[in-house]
Amino acid sequence: MSSAAIQILHKERIPGNGVLVIPGRLPFEALLQFEKLFAGRPITWLIEEKAQHDPSVLAHLEKSDSGAMFSADDAAPEAAGQQLKPFLDQNGVLIFVPGRAAARNATPCHIPASHLKALTSFGLPVLPVAVDLPRESSLSTERRGSLPAVVISFAKTVPAAEASPAAFHKGLLNAAETAYSARPLFKNSLAMVLLEGLKKHGRNRILDGSDDSELPYSKILPVAIALSKHIREETDQPRVAIVLPPGKAGLIANLAVLFAGKTPVNLNFTAGPEAVRSCIRQSGVDRFITADPFVRKVSSFPWPPNRDLILVERVLPGLKKQIITWGILSKLLPAAALGTLLGLRKRSGDDEALLLFTSGSSGEPKGVPLTHRNVLGNVTQFATRLDLHTGSSVLGCLPLFHSFGCTVTLWFPVIEGIDLVTYPSPLETKRLAELIALHQITLLLATPTFLRGYMKRIDPAQLSSLKLVVTGAEKLPQNLANAFEEKFGIRPQEGYGLTETSPATNVNLPDPEPESGATVIPSSRNGSVGQLLPGLALKIIDPATEQEVPIDRQGIIWFKGCNVFTGYLNDPKRTADVLQDGWFRTGDVGRIDDDGFLYIEGRISRFSKIAGEMVPHETVEAAVNKALGLDQETERRIAIVGVPDEQKGEAIVLLSTIAGPALEQECIDLRYKLLDEGLPSLWCPKLIIPVAEIPVLASGKLDIKGCEAVVKRDV
C-alpha cells in the first residue's frame, strides 16, 4: 500500500517513554503501520486470550519475537499489569491488538467493555489511537480511490493513575474527531454535492403523498436550476425564505435557492406571528417561496405583500422552455462542468449554506446559520452509521424548518440515492401508514409525540416494511417503545441532536449481525440516546464548578466536530456563551457509559435548584407517570415546571390534564406515592395545576415557554 494511502495525524503525541498503546481497532494494514511508527523501540503485541483474530493478523504476529496475553476475566488486573510492566522498559511499547468484531460502520471502538476495563486497570500509561478507514464510510458521490485507505490519529497519553474506560473513550473520540474533520469533502459546496447526487441517482425519485405524484431526481434537477435563475432575477438578498411543507415543491425550492448561490431559510409556519416576524427580521429576507393553496391554508402566517411571494405553481409553467434546455444540458454535461456553468464552486465549506431557527421552546427563536461543512459533515455522519442498502426509502413528513427534517429528509436522500416519500403533516398517521404500506418504506423518522399517533387505529401489517424507526427531539419513554415494538414488531431507536449540531449527534441502531468468532459491539442500549456519530468528540463540565470531569460523570455536555455550527446569527454574546475553541455547550446534562452510550439526564434549563440541590424535571416526570400509571402511549398528560420559592429558591409545580377538583388532597396522595417510589422529598411537586392539554410545539417537543406561561397565569 502506498504511503499516500496512509495518513498519520498527531504523531508528535507518541511519548518517548514506555506506554500501553490501545487502538480502537487494528486492521492488518494499520498493524503494519504501527510496526513502522514504533520502529527502533521494543514492541510487544498484547492480545486477550479468548479473542478471535483474522488469520492474516495472527500469522503476522506469530512471526514477531515478542507477544503477551491477558484475560478479561482476571479478578486482579493490577497484578497482571505488574507482570506486563517490564515490557515498557527501555521505552518499550505494549500494543493491544483488538480481536475480530461485528460493529456498525465507522464505530471507532471495537473493544468489548470487559477488555477495555481490564486494559485500563493494569496501572500503565495508556495511549488511545483512532484508526479510521475513510473508504468504508464515504458518501456515494465521493471518489473513494482518492481517499486515504487508513488514517491513524493519536490522542494524548492518559497517565496510569487516570486510566479508565471513560478516559480512553474521551481520548479516542478526540483523536477520531481530528481524523474525521480533515476529510476533503467538507471543503466542498453543498450545492455541488447535491448536483452530483441528482446526476448520479437520477432514477431515484420523490413520491409526493399529498397528490400521489412522483418525479425522478433527473427531472427535479432541471426544474431546480431553472427556478434558481428566476430567484436570482427576483432578489439581490443573500437569503430567501421558504414557507412550504414537505413535498416536491419544498425539495425543488430548497435546491433552487442553493443553486442560485443563496441561503434557504425554511420558516416555521406553525409558530406564532411574533416569532415568525422575528425570524423574518433577523434573516433579512425579502422574497418568500410558497404555493397559493398553502397561503390560503395557513392564514395565521404574517404573509408579506403579494409582490414578495414566489408562488411555485404560477412561476414554473412560465419557465417551461428553460426547464427543457436545462434538462438537455444536465444530461449532456458531466456534473463538474454543469457545476462550473452554474457557479456552484464559488462557495466553500466555511460559507453559510442554511439558516434555521431554534424552536423557541425556551425563548425567542435564535438564528442558527449552518455552513456547507456542517451539513455535509452531518449527512456523512448519519449516512455512514445507518449504512442503508440499495432500494431503501425514507418517509419525509417532518417539517422542513425542523433541522432533522431538513438534513435527513432533504439532503441525505438526494446525496445518497434514497427514494423519498413525502407528506405535509406528521400528525395524519392514518395516511402516513397507507404511504408506508403502498411504497414499502424502510426508514421512519419521528418524535415520540408523533409515534403515539401510530398506536391508534393503525394495522400492524401496514408498517411491516419498516427496517428502522428513529425518534428524536424529546425523550423516548420506554413504555412507549415497548408498546410500539409489541404492536408493530420493531423497536423505535432513540437519537439525539440539536439545531446547532446540524442536527444529529447520537443514535441507537439495531446491533450488527453476529459473525462467526467475532465479538458483537452493541449499537443500541435502552434508556440511552446511542453512541456518538463518527467524528464527534465529547467532554463533560460540572455545572457547579465549571470544571471538566470524567465523561462517565453527570454534567453539561459539550460537543466538537465538523457538524458543530460556528455561532448564532448576529448574536456574539450568545455565541460566546456556548462556543469555546470549537466546543459547543449543549445545555443538556448527561454522561457516557463504558460502551460509549450517551445518557441524557435532562436539560439544564429543565432543572430546578432546590435548597442547593439540582432537581431534574424529566426524572420527576418519569416518576409521576409511573406513580399515576400513565402509559404515555397516546399523549403527554403531565409536565413539571419550576417556580420561585422564597424559602428554598425554587419549588416544583405539576401541570396535569387528569387533575380533579380536590387538588390539595391529590397533591398529598401523589407525594406519598412518589416517596414510596424512592423519590426525594425535595423533588415532589408542591402544587398541581389542572390544564386542558399540555403545551407542545409543532415538532412534538414540550413547549417550555408555554408551560411557564400557564404557571405564571395560575400561580
**What pLDDT is recorded for position 300?**
87
* Per-residue model confidence as pLDDT tens digits over 223-258: 999 999 999 999 999 999 999 999 999 999 999 999
pLDDT mean over 341-362: 86
- Please indicate, yes or no, whether residues 306 and 372 belong to a single structural domain of this protein: yes
Does the structure show a pLDDT above 60 at 360?
Answer: no
SS3 assignment, position 403: helix
**What pLDDT is recorded for position 625?**
87
Domain count, the chain: 3
* Per-residue model confidence as pLDDT tens digits over 678-705: 888 888 888 888 888 888 876 667 788 7
| Cell matching residue 486 | 409489541
The answer to whether 201 and 193 have CB atoms below 8 angstroms apart is no
Last residue in a domain, options 559, 589, 619: 589
Q: What is the pTM of this model?
A: 0.88
Lowest mean pLDDT among 59-73, 333-347, 641-655: 641-655
In a domain, 415, yes or no: yes
Does the structure show a pLDDT above 80 at 664?
Answer: no
- Dist. CA 249–CA 227, nearest whole Å: 11
**What pLDDT is recorded for position 636?**
80
pLDDT confidence tier of residue 218, bands split at 50, 70 and 90: very high
- Please indicate, yes or no, whether residues 70 and 156 belong to a single structural domain of this protein: yes
In a domain, 89, yes or no: yes
SS3 assignment, position 50: coil
**What pLDDT is recorded for position 633?**
58
- Please indicate, yes or no, whether residues 163 and 305 belong to a single structural domain of this protein: no
Tell me, what DSSP letter sits at residue 457? S
- Dist. CA 28–CA 60, nearest whole Å: 9
* Exposed / middle / buried, residue 61 (Cβ in 10 Å: 0-12, 13-18, 19+): middle
Lowest mean pLDDT among 64-73, 299-308, 335-344, 452-461: 64-73
% of the chain surpassing 70 pLDDT: 96
* Exposed / middle / buried, residue 216 (Cβ in 10 Å: 0-12, 13-18, 19+): middle
Q: Given its phi and psi angles, is residue 366 left (phi above 0), alpha (psi -120 to 50 degrees) or beta?
A: beta
pLDDT confidence tier of residue 605, bands split at 50, 70 and 90: low
- Please indicate, yes or no, whether residues 526 and 399 belong to a single structural domain of this protein: yes
Most confident of 511-515, 581-585, 647-651: 581-585
**What pLDDT is recorded for position 713?**
80
**What pLDDT is recorded for position 595?**
95
In a domain, 528, yes or no: yes
- Please indicate, yes or no, whether residues 195 and 170 belong to a single structural domain of this protein: no
In a domain, 401, yes or no: yes
Closest CA to 352 of 190, 231, 227, 504: 190
The secondary element (H helix, E strand) that includes residue 396 is strand 393-396
- Please indicate, yes or no, whether residues 582 and 616 belong to a single structural domain of this protein: no
pLDDT mean over 636-648: 81
Does the structure show a pLDDT above 80 at 293?
Answer: yes
In a domain, 600, yes or no: no
Does the structure show a pLDDT above 90 at 676?
Answer: no
- Please indicate, yes or no, whether residues 146 and 219 belong to a single structural domain of this protein: no
| Cell matching residue 504 | 444529529
- Please indicate, yes or no, whether residues 631 and 554 belong to a single structural domain of this protein: no
Tell me, what DSSP letter sits at residue 423? -
**What pLDDT is recorded for position 667?**
80
pLDDT confidence tier of residue 105, bands split at 50, 70 and 90: very high
In a domain, 594, yes or no: no
Within its chain, how far is the Cα of 304 from the centroid?
34
**What pLDDT is recorded for position 384?**
92
- Residue 700, number of CB atoms within 10 A of its CB: 23
Phi, psi of 344 (to 5 degrees): -75, -15
Closest CA to 265 of 403, 152, 443, 103: 403
* Exposed / middle / buried, residue 281 (Cβ in 10 Å: 0-12, 13-18, 19+): exposed
pLDDT mean over 48-73: 88
- Please indicate, yes or no, whether residues 528 and 480 belong to a single structural domain of this protein: yes
Last residue in a domain, options 562, 589, 616: 589
Domain at 211, CATH number: 3.40.50.12780
The boundaries of the domain holding residue 688 are 605-714
**What pLDDT is recorded for position 598?**
97
Which residues are CB-neighbours of 525 under 8 A, at least 6 positions away? 508, 593, 595, 597
* Per-residue model confidence as pLDDT tens digits over 363-414: 578 999 999 999 999 999 999 999 888 889 999 999 999 888 888 899 999 9
% of the chain surpassing 90 pLDDT: 69
The answer to whether 569 and 369 have CB atoms below 8 angstroms apart is yes
Omega of the bond leading into 503 within 30 degrees of 0 (cis) = yes
**What pLDDT is recorded for position 403?**
87
Q: Distances in Å between the alpha carbon of 573 and those of 21, 370, 520, 578?
A: 42, 18, 46, 9
- Please indicate, yes or no, whether residues 427 and 321 belong to a single structural domain of this protein: yes
- Dist. CA 589–CA 538, nearest whole Å: 12
- Dist. CA 104–CA 512, nearest whole Å: 6
| Mean pLDDT taken over the chain | 91
- Dist. CA 663–CA 255, nearest whole Å: 54
pLDDT mean over 551-557: 94
The answer to whether 625 and 632 have CB atoms below 8 angstroms apart is yes
Query: Do the strands 393-396 and 443-446 form a parallel or antiparallel pair, or are they unpaired?
Result: parallel
Helical packing angle, 217-234 and 190-200, nearest 10°: 150
* Exposed / middle / buried, residue 489 (Cβ in 10 Å: 0-12, 13-18, 19+): exposed
In a domain, 185, yes or no: no
In a domain, 157, yes or no: yes
Q: Distances in Å between the alpha carbon of 272 and those of 276, 301, 401, 418, 698?
A: 6, 8, 14, 34, 11
Last residue in a domain, options 561, 589, 617: 589
Looking at the DSSP bridge assignments, the partners of residue 354 are 370
| Cell matching residue 228 | 434558481
**What pLDDT is recorded for position 4?**
64
Lowest mean pLDDT among 47-51, 112-116, 313-317, 641-645: 641-645
**What pLDDT is recorded for position 5?**
87
- Please indicate, yes or no, whether residues 345 and 474 belong to a single structural domain of this protein: yes
- Cα maximum dimension of the chain: 81
- Please indicate, yes or no, whether residues 622 and 585 belong to a single structural domain of this protein: no
